[in-house]
A and B are shown apart, each in its own frame.
Chain A
Amino acid sequence: EADIYQTPRYLVIGTGKKITLECSQTMGHDKMYWYQQDPGMELHLIHYSYGVNSTEKGDLSSESTVSRIRTEHFPLTLESARPSHTSQYLCASSGGGGDEKLFFGSGTQLSVL
């Protein structure tokens, strides 16, 4: 069982609000990722980090930002939420064992009204 946690599980918020989605893992993994997924669509990589103070944008452009100040913590922030940000946000980590198996959190379902 993977030890990676996301909070909140569900978030309904009004347009223009600033939000932070939390992600923590206790496995000591260097690599962490944020994916965004809509129903019936693939998971799109929006941010990743290969270690502390290392963050990169993913394949899908996103208005969100991330930080990696501690190995175990990889929060995602939206400065001003919009209805187009409504989606499921999935955090994952990897130990880099060669097959890049990702362990996912339970996800945050974000709805922006």
Chain B
Amino acid sequence: DQQVKQNSPSLSVQEGRISILNCDYTNSMFDYFLWYKKYPAEGPTFLISISSIKDKNEDGRFTVFLNKSAKHLSLHIVPSQPGDSAVYFCATGGGSNYKLTFGKGTLLTVNP
């Protein structure tokens, strides 16, 4: 049973527009949340994270929002650039468990 769900396998946006990627989780014990970006045949690279005590974290063009009551987080990319085209994975973890649980990823395509 998937604990972390990314329900959109793909997303296509125009350059300069906002990209919104969504993630839902089931385990209320999760207390930190991360987004990774991955190119084909490469390892994931860390983008941005948020802890459960916050509802927003911003880093340049990337903002992560956390809605704990809805067990939902989202990643906003503004403005989107063609170089942002990649697979984005949501990951969660928490408690004494040092392991991360990943979603299936969303393929973002930013069109020039």
A residues adjacent to B (C-beta < 8 A): 6, 9-10, 31, 33, 35, 40-43, 45, 48, 50, 58-59, 88, 90-92, 94, 96, 98-107, 109
Contacts and interface: CB of A to CB of B under 8 A. Distances in A.
A6 B98 CA distance: 22
B42 A102 contact: no
Contacts of A35: 102
Contact of B43 (A41, A48, A107): A107
A43 B49 contact: no
Contacts of A50: 98
Given A40-B104, A40-B105, A48 B46 contact: no
18 contacts: A6-B43, A9-B41, A33-B99, A40-B104, A42-B2, A42-B4, A43-B91, A43-B102, A48-B99, A50-B98, A92-B43, A99-B49, A100-B93, A100-B98, A100-B99, A101-B34, A101-B49, A102-B100
A111 to B, nearest CB: 12
A98 B34 CA distance: 12
Nearest to B49: A99
B32 interface: yes
Interface of B: 2, 4, 9, 32, 34, 36, 41-46, 49, 51, 89, 91, 93, 98-105
B43 A106 contact: yes
Listed from nearest, the 6 A-B pairs whose CB atoms lie closest are A104-B43, A43-B102, A42-B102, A99-B32, A42-B104, A107-B43
B9 A31 contact: no
Given A99-B32, A101-B34, A42 B103 contact: yes
Nearest to B2: A42
Contacts of B2: 42
A50 B97 CA distance: 11
A18 to B, nearest CB: 24
Given A45-B99, A90-B43, 9 more contacts: A10-B41, A31-B98, A40-B104, A40-B105, A42-B104, A43-B44, A48-B98, A99-B51, A103-B46
